[in-house]
């Protein structure tokens, strides 16, 4: 479940224990644990998700965080073939630059 995964990631990023988060949210540690494990989810999430689907609007619109009624549609994931095609359409010096940039990116993300 996305809510639980994101809640845990945010809590970890904040270096916060489940107990600390629970205290800040007025909930018990066990409730936080259940949310993170996906054992339970807040009822409001199910209701907001369903209303969003029924009316075709984003949850942010229902919550009044935006006036935009258009749902976000994620871009198609980039495929290796697309990258290869882009590189192949470059002139020789562009290909060298692309290889250098991709090598740099590879080293950056290899360390993570």
Q: In the predicted model, is pLDDT for residue 71 greater than 90?
A: no
State percent of the chain over pLDDT 90. 35
| pTM, entire model | 0.55
- DSSP 8-state code for residue 67: S
As a residue count, the chain comes to: 112
Gap between the Cα atoms of 48 and 60, Å rounded: 9
Provide the pLDDT for residue 89. Answer: 87
Radius of gyration of the chain, Cα coordinates, nearest whole angstrom:
21
pLDDT in tens, 2-43: 888 889 999 999 999 999 999 999 999 999 999 999 899 888
**Cα distance between residue 88 and residue 98, in whole Å:** 10
pLDDT band, residue 112 (cuts 50/70/90):
low
Go through the domains of the chain in sequence order and give each one's CATH number.
2-62 (1.10.260.40), 80-110 (no CATH)
- Two tokens, residue 13: 């990023």
> How many CB atoms lie under 10 A from the CB of residue 18?
20
């Amino acid at each position: 479940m996305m809510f639980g995964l994101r809640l845990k990631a945010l809590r970890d990023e904040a270096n916060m224990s489940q107990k600390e988060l629970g205290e800040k949210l007025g909930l018990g540690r066990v409730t936080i644990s259940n949310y993170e494990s996906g054992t339970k989810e807040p009822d409001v999430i199910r209701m907001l998700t369903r209303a969003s689907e029924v009316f075709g609007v984003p949850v942010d619109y229902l919550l009044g965080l935006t006036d935009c009624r258009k749902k976000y549609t994620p871009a198609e994931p980039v495929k290796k073939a697309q990258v290869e095609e882009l590189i192949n359409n470059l002139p020789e010096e562009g290909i060298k630059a692309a290889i250098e940039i991709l090598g740099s990116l590879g080293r950056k993300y290899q360390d993570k």
